[in-house]
């Protein structure tokens, strides 16, 4: 019976060691890779640390989209109704990217206040409103009834 | 009329499930054969009724019966037939019906093929299966009826999300559900065994084929989903650690661990309570995945609808199933008789290592997936200020990668160890060739690759190590080159199918590792604006934008960019990258143009543009990426080979031979 006890002992010790290792890995990874959501108002208030990966969400401001002919760089402004942020992105925009549409941009704030996006997310459904954007709009009182309805229909209103 | 037939069939199946969950359990308790036998009839009857119900729904989609709410919301008369059919499960209600269809299919298979099972175990297993079916059918009938009629049917339907109108995605749900829901059988067997208080080698032999079948389905389903994301989202990536992807990956990790630990129960009668726990965890992960996807707490293309009522209902189902089974486990597991003792370095030890690492990585994926939900809950309870977080791919790469590395190193060594007690150096000595070649490959990558860091070298070394080591293990088994050729051939014929399956599946793992590496560290990408006639060079391949034309599809119009591909000045093919506009659904999709040359994919995406200003294009050279799907299919094929093993055949005689296997035997042994 002693060997069975010993077997259980080493099994448990390996398991505990492994879990401790995994917890360390997870915590270190969390420290660097938790991506916080900020609204244009947060950025305007200086709450966003430059250089750190964050998500910014809002509506693409009407008339703000600028394309440079002959270059894949696109600049536009994201607004939550109270403040807006300049975003620069190089690449192919999602199919349903357009002015007035709610989008989420992943990227980093530069020290000059522009936001360089590495990824733009806009769902392929016209009625889609990213939940973060919906919340941000509600906070600034810009949540319109029609959008609310659309968002509930497609299951993103909260 | 057919919609009503479907509805009534579902109600009848629900009643049968109610009978099946109660009667056989009482029968098994009292030893009443009649009540126990009832389970077989109800299981088969339930399946027939759900088939009828499902057929009624598919029929409503095919004939475009827009008086059915579900059809009106999710179909359109102009859709191609394939997508009318797949539209039946491309929505919340229909996908649940598919879920229940597969659940009852598995129940019916146990009833039909499980003749050799002890009557009480079979009755209890089917009873637990009945409980799950009862819960889900109640969910459908009370909150998500697919057959709801409209008083004023519209002239035409609203259409199906164009993203889902794709052959890869048409078949993704059936395979995925086959895997997801197939794990319910392992769960039901585990709960039945806990009630009986008896787990032995015979039990493991009954559970393994079901788990294996489910695992194969899950593997193919995940591969199809990832293939779809690769060519349809146009981001050049194959896996995004999206919560919904994780929801399908977590059951796969648990099922993979379960497959391996069931071998130890079968061969050595050890790790019994651990295996039971894994069976419970695997299906719990399926339920959790269903909850995450269906409740809409996570938004994605899969989240068809949010209705708080539905979320609460699934959460309650989840609570009862997981909470109940874990409580039962806590009460009954300590009473299970402890099994065989083994040394750390042994076949059991290797399989246990596999299990520990797989379940630990499962835990980290689970944490990363649920963390944003935890934060949301904490915010709602007022413990945190308004915060929104998401956990991105870097977290998963940083935790999952290091946890996989030891498994990939051990996957070759494990099968060479003997049961109970073994010699690690002896096993490693047989693998010297694989080690030398793997280190050689690493050195070559370090010297010649332009990619920074040691990761590419380690990864390529690992892929070579796995594939070559696995082949060497197989060659050892048939004494290739060590015995006369006649002896080798004789051995080759006698190798159990389970071993051939293992070898095949492990080679598949090696291929996937290589492909993942190609997709993550070796790919080249180029974004620019191109006019017709422009050529861009990506990793030595020329992409020439020949023309952009307008194309009329069956239910969309597209802008199609035709790219000519050249290598060293020679034309190797053309690809079409499309931007499709679906007027009915009012949305657009991107179809990447992909040219496969086996060792790499050339991948082109067309963005916005005009003849005057040119089009934004995104071009990729993705080395080894096709191997991800090739490897997944090879893995699943290995599972199928193993499934065809005579000794594992469903309902094989329940002999209790426990011969110690010879040193070079497959996980399933060579007796």
- Give the DSSP letter string of B315-374: HHHHIIIIIHHHHHHHHHGGGSPP-----SSSHHHHHHHHHHHHHHHHHHHHHHHHHHHH
Q: Are residues A132 and A149 in the same domain?
A: yes
Distance (Å, rounded) from C-alpha A80 to C-alpha B58?
44
- Split into its structural domains, chain A has a count of 2
- Asked if residues B596 and B520 have their Cβ atoms less than 8 Å apart, the reply is no
Residue A3 domain boundaries: 1-33
Residue B602: what pLDDT? 92
Q: Are residues A40 and A22 in the same domain?
A: no
Question: Which positions in chain B touch A140 (Cβ < 8 Å)?
Answer: none
Residue A105 domain flag: yes
Distance (Å, rounded) from C-alpha B514 to C-alpha B340?
37
Q: Which of A10, A71, A154 sits opposite B529 (nearest CB)?
A: A71
A35–B392 CB contact, under 8 Å: yes
Residue B634: what pLDDT? 96
Give which of A25, A140, A149 to mutate to test B binding, by max B Cβ within 10 Å. A25
Residue A91 domain flag: yes
A30–B527 CB contact, under 8 Å: no
Least confident of A63-72, A146-155, B356-365, B424-433: A146-155
- A86: domain CATH number? 2.40.50.140
pLDDT tier at A130, thresholds 50, 70, 90: low
Which of B177, B147, B145, B377 lies closest to B293, judged by CA?
B177
User: CA-nearest residue of chain B to A33?
Assistant: B395
Residue A128 domain flag: yes
B613–A15 CB contact, under 8 Å: no
Q: Which residue has the tokens 């078949």?
A: B171
For residue B319, give both structure tokens: 């609570």
Residue A11: what pLDDT? 79
- Asked if residues A57 and A130 have their Cβ atoms less than 8 Å apart, the reply is yes
Q: Are residues A28 and A41 in the same domain?
A: no
A124–B587 CB contact, under 8 Å: yes
User: CA-nearest residue of chain B to A122?
Assistant: B300
Q: Are residues A47 and A122 in the same domain?
A: yes
Q: Are residues A114 and A144 in the same domain?
A: yes
Query: Chain B: nearest CA to A135, how far in angstroms?
Result: 10
Q: Which of B360, B395, B607 sits opposite A33 (nearest CB)?
A: B395
In this complex, how many residue pairs, one in chain A and one in chain B, have their CB atoms less than 8 Å apart? 136
Residue B648: what pLDDT? 54
Q: Are residues A1 and A78 in the same domain?
A: no
Which of B58, B61, B76, B70 lies closest to B155, judged by CA?
B76
Q: Are residues A19 and A40 in the same domain?
A: no
Q: Are residues A26 and A43 in the same domain?
A: no
Q: Are residues A3 and A59 in the same domain?
A: no
Residue A61 domain flag: yes
Question: Which positions in chain A touch B391 (Cβ < 8 Å)?
Answer: 30, 33-35
Chain centre distance of CA B153: 38
Flag residues of chain B having pLDDT under 70: 295-309, 646-671
Query: Chain B: nearest CA to A10, how far in angstroms?
Result: 8
B301–A155 CB contact, under 8 Å: no
Q: Are residues A44 and A17 in the same domain?
A: no
Sign for the pseudo-dihedral over CA of B633, B638, B639, B644: positive
B39 or A148, which is more confident?
B39
User: CA-nearest residue of chain B to A29?
Assistant: B395
Residue A65: what pLDDT? 87
Question: Which positions in chain A touch B614 (Cβ < 8 Å)?
Answer: 69-70
User: CA-nearest residue of chain A to B396?
Assistant: A29
- Angle, in degrees to the nearest 10, between helices B272-294 and B308-318: 180
Helix (H), strand (E) at residue B548? strand B541-552
Distance (Å, rounded) from C-alpha B528 to C-alpha A67?
13
Question: Which positions in chain B touch A34 (Cβ < 8 Å)?
Answer: 371, 389-391, 395
Q: Which of A14, A91, A156 sits opposite B299 (nearest CB)?
A: A156
- Asked if residues B518 and B623 have their Cβ atoms less than 8 Å apart, the reply is yes
Distance (Å, rounded) from C-alpha B315 to C-alpha B309?
10
Distance (Å, rounded) from C-alpha B320 to C-alpha B136?
12
Query: Chain B: nearest CA to A40, how far in angstroms?
Result: 14
Residue B233: what pLDDT? 75
Distance (Å, rounded) from C-alpha A103 to C-alpha A94?
9
User: Mean pLDDT of all residues in chain A?
Assistant: 74
pLDDT, tens digit, 9 for 90 and up, residues B130-172: 999 999 999 999 988 999 888 888 888 877 777 778 787 788 8
Q: Are residues A16 and A42 in the same domain?
A: no
Question: Which positions in chain B touch A139 (Cβ < 8 Å)?
Answer: 386
Distance (Å, rounded) from C-alpha A85 to C-alpha A136?
14
A22–B588 CB contact, under 8 Å: no
User: CA-nearest residue of chain A to B398?
Assistant: A29
Residue A158 domain flag: no
User: CA-nearest residue of chain B to A153?
Assistant: B305
Distance (Å, rounded) from C-alpha B366 to C-alpha B610?
45
Residue A118 domain flag: yes
Helix (H), strand (E) at residue B136? helix B119-143
Question: Which positions in chain B touch A67 (Cβ < 8 Å)?
Answer: 613
Q: Are residues A101 and A60 in the same domain?
A: yes
Residue A84: what pLDDT? 87
Residue A2 domain flag: yes
- Asked if residues B668 and B642 have their Cβ atoms less than 8 Å apart, the reply is yes
pLDDT > 50? residue A124 = no
């Amino acid at each position: 019976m002693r060997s069975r006890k010993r077997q259980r002992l080493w099994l448990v010790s390996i398991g505990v060691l492994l879990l401790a290792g995994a917890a360390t890995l997870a915590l270190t990874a969390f420290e660097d890779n938790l991506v916080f959501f900020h609204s244009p108002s947060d950025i305007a208030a200086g709450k966003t640390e430059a250089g750190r990966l964050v998500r910014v969400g809002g509506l693409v401001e009407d008339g703000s989209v600028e394309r440079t002919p002959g270059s894949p760089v696109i600049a536009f402004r994201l607004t939550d109704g109270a403040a807006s942020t300049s975003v620069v992105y190089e690449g192919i925009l999602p199919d349903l990217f357009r002015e007035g549409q709610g989008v989420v941009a992943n990227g980093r704030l530069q020290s000059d206040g522009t936001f360089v996006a590495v990824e733009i997310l806009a769902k392929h459904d016209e009625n889609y409103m990213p939940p973060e954007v919906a919340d941000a709009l509600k906070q600034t009182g810009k949540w319109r009834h029609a959008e609310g309805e659309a968002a509930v229909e497609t299951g993103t209103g909260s | 009329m057919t919609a009503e037939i479907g509805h009534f069939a579902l109600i009848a199946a629900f009643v049968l499930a109610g009978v099946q969950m109660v009667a056989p359990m009482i029968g098994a308790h009292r030893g009443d054969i009649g009540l126990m036998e009832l389970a077989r009839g109800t299981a088969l009857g339930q399946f027939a009724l759900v088939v009828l119900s499902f057929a009624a729904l598919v029929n409503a989609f095919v004939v475009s019966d827009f008086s059915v709410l579900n059809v009106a919301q999710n179909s359109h008369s102009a859709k191609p037939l394939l997508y009318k059919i797949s539209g039946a499960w491309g929505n919340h209600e229909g996908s649940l019906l598919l879920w229940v269809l597969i659940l009852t299919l598995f129940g019916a298979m146990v009833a039909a093929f499980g003749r050799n099972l002890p009557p009480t175990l079979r009755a209890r297993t089917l009873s637990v299966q009945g409980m799950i079916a009862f819960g889900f059918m109640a969910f459908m009938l009370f909150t998500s009826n697919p057959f709801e009629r409209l008083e004023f049917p519209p002239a035409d339907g609203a259409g199906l999300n164009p993203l889902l109108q794709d052959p890869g995605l048409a078949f993704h749900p059936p395979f995925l559900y086959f895997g997801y829901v197939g794990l319910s059988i392992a769960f039901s067997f585990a709960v039945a065994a806990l009630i009986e208080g008896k787990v032995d080698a015979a039990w493991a032999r009954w559970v393994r084929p079901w788990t294996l079948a489910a695992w194969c389905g899950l593997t193919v389903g995940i591969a199809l989903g990832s293939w779809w994301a690769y060519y349809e989202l146009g981001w050049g990536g194959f896996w995004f650690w999206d919560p919904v992807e994780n929801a399908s990956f977590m059951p796969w990790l648990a099922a993979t661990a379960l497959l391996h630990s069931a071998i130890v129960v079968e061969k050595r009668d050890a790790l019994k309570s651990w295996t039971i726990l894994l069976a419970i965890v695997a299906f719990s992960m399926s339920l959790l995945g269903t909850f995450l996807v269906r409740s809409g707490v996570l938004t994605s293309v899969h989240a068809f609808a949010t209705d708080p009522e539905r979320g609460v209902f699934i959460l309650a189902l989840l609570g009862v199933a997981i909470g109940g089974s874990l409580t039962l486990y806590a009460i009954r597991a300590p009473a299970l008789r402890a099994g065989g003792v083994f040394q750390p370095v042994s076949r059991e030890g290797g399989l246990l290592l596999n299990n520990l690492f797989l379940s630990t990585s499962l835990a980290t994926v689970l944490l990363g997936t649920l963390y944003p939900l935890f934060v949301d809950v904490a915010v709602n309870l007022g413990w945190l200020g308004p915060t929104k977080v998401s956990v991105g791919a870097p977290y998963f790469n940083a935790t999952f990668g290091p946890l996989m590395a030891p498994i990939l190193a051990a996957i070759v060594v494990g099968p060479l160890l003997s049961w109970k007690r073994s010699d690690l150096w002896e096993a490693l000595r047989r693998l010297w060739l694989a080690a030398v070649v793997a280190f050689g490959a690493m050195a070559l990558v370090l010297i010649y690759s332009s990619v920074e860091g040691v990761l590419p070298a380690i990864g390529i070394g690992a892929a070579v190590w796995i594939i070559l080591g696995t082949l060497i293990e197989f060659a050892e088994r048939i004494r290739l080159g060590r015995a006369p050729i006649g002896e080798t051939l004789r051995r080759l014929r006698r190798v159990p199918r389970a071993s051939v399956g293992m070898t095949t599946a492990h080679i598949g793992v090696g291929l996937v590792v290589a492909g993942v590496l190609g997709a993550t560290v070796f790919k080249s990408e180029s974004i620019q604006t191109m006019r017709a006639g422009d050529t861009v060079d990506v990793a030595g391949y020329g992409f020439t934008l020949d023309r952009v034309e307008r194309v009329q599809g069956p239910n969309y119009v597209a802008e199609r960019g035709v790219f000519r591909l050249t290598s060293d000045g020679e034309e190797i093919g053309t690809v079409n990258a499309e931007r499709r506009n679906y007027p009915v659904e009012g949305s657009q999709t991107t179809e990447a143009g992909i040219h496969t040359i086996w060792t790499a994919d050339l991948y082109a995406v067309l963005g916005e543009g005009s003849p005057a200003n040119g089009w934004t294009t995104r071009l990729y050279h993705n080395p080894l990426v096709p191997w991800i799907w090739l490897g997944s299919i090879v893995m699943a094929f290995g599972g199928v080979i193993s499934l065809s093993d005579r000794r594992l055949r469903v309902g094989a005689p329940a002999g209790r031979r426990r011969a110690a296997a010879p040193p070079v035997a497959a996980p399933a042994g060579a007796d």
